């Protein structure tokens, strides 16, 4: 063994394989031959297919599309105004013992006189929001009758009370006297609504009765269209349309002038559960919001002129009340049972985008009713946990009309550009 | 391995041609999807060869491949097809980036005498499945195709084959100094298909 030669070969850094490039060349030559001659050494013909035009669509890569989307969202976010602060807690909690846990009743009403009328079991109380004085108006004796529907008249002079036993009473609150008893129904009165001197009542006997409270024979018209209890009843702000929601999941729109003939304007069957929550939009004529019960859980916004649903949100929870915010373009929904989300909560939605703005939820069990203060700032929720909770959720009121225009301008001025990494 | 009699199926020339041209259709779709020649959303999944195969939903590409495989099937039946090459080129520069080469060896006895062969269908499927898996996994070593690409299909036939109306004579569109990877092959006992992919050296690679 020649150790020196071995050592040189092993340690020398210069490549010794000068035959390698030749070898490579020969290999490549063979390869090229292979590629241009077939196995028998025959040359062949090469053709390219030009049969039909291939798609000339640009192949956009998914990554670029994603980048574009993200950039668009970012821009949109920049333009939005910082949202007003929504209070997390209630302003006040009132104890409401024996408040009936009944989805179908509407036992709360806040009159223009700043007095809240609320039925707790067989008793009806008046709470003055100015001095917080409490006064019991009436108590039903016997144990098998109680108020199921309470509504102040528009001028807050009269309080309409509907009962379990189908009685409908008008009370003068100042003198604490019963003025009138109206007959007509054969089942409990679940909902009532005032339209000037017309008092409309909806009952478990499936009928809607319009009473003219000035006339001796008060019964102006009786409509039998619903197939089940009429649990939701609301007159529009102008008083030309009435929305009635039933336990058979139907929502009817009626015209004031045509009510005597029982001809409805629209019959809307989109809901899959009882329609109790109804609220007319204060800033758009003929726009109605309706909320469905447990199996439905949808807030639907309707154009009652055409009878079409213009928006739909799935809240996945039983909706017991809807209140529009007069000061900002929002709507508040009160919820009861849910298998998934929003149980026992109040949800605030931006209108018309219907994006959820906030959530208030301190009720220990389901919310039964919602009502709004006359100044449009406070909302009360009556819960099955026997509490009345006051939320200052609709304020602060913005000064001047056209507040939506102001907020847009603010948004533009606060637009900040920043680099998207 | 314990010997067992595997049920064999009879393969005719026409049947074999159909298997090969169908294989080519699915392979072409798979290459277009995996190499990103067309956006992923334009493909739909179907079950074939026991695998989820992706087929383009783009009408233009669909009809292109259908017409193409019809012609290939014809040539295969005549035993005149030697090679099918799918070329992927840069849309902007038309430089050839990848070449998917499918070489075909035809049993001339079958073509001349019209005999048929025997082989288990399932085995052929398994062989094709192996190739499909390899095509899908090729993205692990093939260089990224960062720019929009277009594709072309070349057919190598015997010199006596007349050029059909929808084809034109072409150069082989070779890649200079390519890297090559040989994939599995499958055999119907009438046609044997070898797969090879050659690609342009990535700049990142060191010589």
Question: Across the interface, do B167 and A36 touch by the CB < 8 Å criterion?
Answer: no
Least confidently predicted of A81-90, A209-218, B114-123: A81-90
A12/chain B closest Cα distance in angstroms: 21
Question: Across the interface, do A45 and B67 touch by the CB < 8 Å criterion?
Answer: no
Nearest CA to A162 out of A142, A144, A188 is that of A188
For B39, name the nearest residue in chain A, comparing CA atoms only. A59
Instruction: Please tell me the predicted confidence (pLDDT) of residue A82.
Output: 59
Whether A418 shows a pLDDT value over 50: the answer reads no
Q: Which A-chain residues 203-222 have CB contacts (< 8 A) with chain B?
A: none
Output the six-digit token pair for A147. 């108020």
How many other β-carbons are positioned within 10 Å of the β-carbon of residue A138? 18
Instruction: Please tell me the predicted confidence (pLDDT) of residue A357.
Output: 85
* Domains delineated in chain B: 9-200 (3.30.900.10)
Q: Residues A286-299: pLDDT tens digits?
A: 899 999 988 888 99
| Dihedral sign computed on CA atoms, order A390, A392, A394, A397 | positive
> Residue A64 burial (CB < 10 Å; 0-12/13-18/19+)?
exposed
pLDDT: which is higher, A58 or B162:
B162
Question: Across the interface, do B36 and A61 touch by the CB < 8 Å criterion?
Answer: yes
Total residues found in chain B within this entry: 207
On the question of a cis peptide bond just before residue A396, with omega within 30 degrees of 0, the verdict is: yes
B60 touches chain A (CB under 8 A): yes
Residue A50 is nearest to which of B37, B161, B168, comparing CB atoms? B168
Residues in A closer than 8 angstroms to B148, CB to CB, are 58-59
Question: Across the interface, do A62 and B39 touch by the CB < 8 Å criterion?
Answer: yes
Residues in A closer than 8 angstroms to B157, CB to CB, are 44-45, 47
**Can you tell me the mean pLDDT for A365-369?**
90
B157/chain A closest Cα distance in angstroms: 5
Angle, vertex CA A279, rays to CA A277 and CA A284, nearest 5: 155
B190 touches chain A (CB under 8 A): no
Q: Report the distance separating Cα B103 and Cα B107, nearest Å.
A: 13
**Can you tell me the mean pLDDT for A68-96?**
73
The tally of domains found in chain A comes to 1
Pair A111, A152: CB distance under 8 Å: yes
Could you tell me if residue A330 is inside a domain? Answer: no
Asked if the interface predicted TM-score (ipTM) of this complex is over 0.90, the answer is no
Q: Residues A268-283: pLDDT tens digits?
A: 999 999 999 999 998 8
Question: Across the interface, do B39 and A59 touch by the CB < 8 Å criterion?
Answer: yes
What value does the CA radius of gyration of chain A take, rounded to a whole number of Å? 36
Could you tell me if residue A364 is inside a domain? Answer: no
Percent of residues, chain A, with pLDDT higher than 90: 30
Residues in B closer than 8 angstroms to A46, CB to CB, are 154-156, 169-172
B39/chain A closest Cα distance in angstroms: 6
Q: H or E element: which one contains A217?
A: none
B200/chain A closest Cα distance in angstroms: 15
**Can you tell me the mean pLDDT for A151-177?**
90
B145 touches chain A (CB under 8 A): no
Q: What are phi and psi of A419, to 5 degrees?
A: -75, 140
| 3-state SS class at A194 | strand
B146 touches chain A (CB under 8 A): no
CA distances (Å), A133 to each of A123, A126, A136, A392, B141, in order?
A: 16, 8, 10, 20, 82
Instruction: Please tell me the predicted confidence (pLDDT) of residue B8.
Output: 83
Which of the 8 DSSP states describes residue B6? P
Domain containing A118: what range? 97-269
Instruction: Please tell me the predicted confidence (pLDDT) of residue B110.
Output: 84
Whether A404 shows a pLDDT value over 60: the answer reads no
pLDDT: which is higher, A392 or A36:
A392
A21 — pLDDT class (breaks 50, 70, 90): low
Output the six-digit token pair for A172. 């003068």
Whether A403 shows a pLDDT value over 50: the answer reads no
Residue A47 is nearest to which of B60, B63, B154, comparing CB atoms? B154
Question: Across the interface, do A45 and B64 touch by the CB < 8 Å criterion?
Answer: no
Whether A26 shows a pLDDT value over 90: the answer reads no
pTM of the entire predicted model: 0.52
The pLDDT tens digits along chain B (207 residues) read 444 556 788 888 888 999 999 999 999 999 999 998 888 888 999 999 989 999 999 888 898 999 899 999 999 998 889 999 999 998 888 889 999 999 999 988 888 888 888 888 899 999 999 999 999 998 888 888 888 888 999 999 988 888 888 888 888 888 888 889 999 999 999 999 999 999 987 665 554
Could you tell me if residue A132 is inside a domain? Answer: yes
Residues in B closer than 8 angstroms to A51, CB to CB, are 64, 67-68, 71, 166-167
Could you tell me if residue A129 is inside a domain? Answer: yes
Pair A354, A346: CB distance under 8 Å: no
B50 touches chain A (CB under 8 A): no
Question: Across the interface, do A45 and B169 touch by the CB < 8 Å criterion?
Answer: yes
Q: What are phi and psi of A307, to 5 degrees?
A: 75, 35
The domain that holds A122 is classified in CATH as: 2.130.10.10
Question: Across the interface, do A58 and B36 touch by the CB < 8 Å criterion?
Answer: no
Q: Report the distance separating Cα B149 and Cα B171, nearest Å.
A: 19
B36 touches chain A (CB under 8 A): yes
Instruction: Please tell me the predicted confidence (pLDDT) of residue B194.
Output: 93
Nearest CA to B191 out of B124, B108, B105 is that of B105
A64/chain B closest Cα distance in angstroms: 11
Could you tell me if residue A400 is inside a domain? Answer: no
Output the six-digit token pair for A171. 């009370």
Whether A421 shows a pLDDT value over 70: the answer reads no
A3 touches chain B (CB under 8 A): no
């Amino acid at each position: 063994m020649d150790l020196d030669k071995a050592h040189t070969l092993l340690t020398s850094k210069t490549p010794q394989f000068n035959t390698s490039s030749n070898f490579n060349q020969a290999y490549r030559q063979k390869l090229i031959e292979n590629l241009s001659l077939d196995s028998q050494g025959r040359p062949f013909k090469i053709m390219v297919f030009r049969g039909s035009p291939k798609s000339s669509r640009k192949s956009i890569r998914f990554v670029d599309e994603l980048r574009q989307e993200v950039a668009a969202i970012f821009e949109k976010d920049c333009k939005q105004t910082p949202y007003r602060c929504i209070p997390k807690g209630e302003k006040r909690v009132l104890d409401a013992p024996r408040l009936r846990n009944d989805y179908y009743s509407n036992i709360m009403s806040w009159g223009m006189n700043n007095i809240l009328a609320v039925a707790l079991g067989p008793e009806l109380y008046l709470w003055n929001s100015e001095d917080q004085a409490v006064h019991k108006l009436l108590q039903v004796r016997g144990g098998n009758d109680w108020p199921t529907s309470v509504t102040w008249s528009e001028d807050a002079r009269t309080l309409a009370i509907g009962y379990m036993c189908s009685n409908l009473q008008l009370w003068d609150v100042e003198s604490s006297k019963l003025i009138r008893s109206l007959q007509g129904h054969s089942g409990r009165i679940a909902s009532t609504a005032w339209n000037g001197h017309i008092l409309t009542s909806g009952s478990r006997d499936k009928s809607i009765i319009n009473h003219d409270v000035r006339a001796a024979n008060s019964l102006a018209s009786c409509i039998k269209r619903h197939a089940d209890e009429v649990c939701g009843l609301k007159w529009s702000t102008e008083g030309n349309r009435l929305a009635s929601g039933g336990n058979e999941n139907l929502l009817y729109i009626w015209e004031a002038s045509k009510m005597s003939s029982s001809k409805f304007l629209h019959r809307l069957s989109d809901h899959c559960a009882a329609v109790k929550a109804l609220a007319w939009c204060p800033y758009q004529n003929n726009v109605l919001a309706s909320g469905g019960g447990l199996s439905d859980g949808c807030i639907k916004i309707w154009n009652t002129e055409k009878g079409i649903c213009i928006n739909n949100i799935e809240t996945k929870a039983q909706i017991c009340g809807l209140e529009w915010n007069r000061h900002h373009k929002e709507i508040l929904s009160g919820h009861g049972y849910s298998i998934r989300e929003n149980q026992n909560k109040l949800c605030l939605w931006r209108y018309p985008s219907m994006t959820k703005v906030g959530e208030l939820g301190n009720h220990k069990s389901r919310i039964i009713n919602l009502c709004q203060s006359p100044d449009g700032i406070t909302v009360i929720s009556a819960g099955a946990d026997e509490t009345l909770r006051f939320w200052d959720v609709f304020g602060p009121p913005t000064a001047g009309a056209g507040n939506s225009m102001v907020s847009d301008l603010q948004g533009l001025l606060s637009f900040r550009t920043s680099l998207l990494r | 391995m314990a010997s067992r009699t595997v049920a064999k199926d009879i393969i005719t020339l026409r049947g074999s041609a159909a298997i090969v041209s169908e294989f080519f259709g699915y392979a072409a779709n798979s290459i277009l999807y995996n190499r990103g020649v067309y956006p992923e959303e334009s493909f739909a999944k179907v079950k074939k060869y026991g695998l989820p195969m992706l087929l383009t939903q783009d009408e233009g590409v669909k009809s292109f491949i259908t017409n193409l495989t019809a012609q290939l099937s014809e040539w295969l039946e005549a035993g005149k097809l030697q090679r099918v090459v799918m070329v992927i080129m840069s849309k902007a520069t038309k430089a050839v980036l990848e070449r998917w080469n499918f070489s075909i060896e035809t049993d001339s006895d079958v073509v001349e005498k019209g005999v048929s062969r025997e082989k288990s269908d399932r085995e052929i499927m398994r062989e094709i499945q192996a190739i499909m898996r390899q095509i899908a996994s090729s993205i692990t070593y093939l260089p990224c195709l960062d720019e929009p690409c277009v594709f072309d299909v070349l057919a190598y036939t015997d010199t006596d084959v007349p050029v059909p109306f929808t084809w034109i004579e072409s150069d082989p569109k070779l890649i200079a100094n390519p890297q090559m990877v040989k994939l599995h092959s499958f055999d119907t006992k009438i046609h044997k298909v070898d797969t090879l992919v050659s690609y342009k050296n990535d700049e990142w690679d060191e010589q």
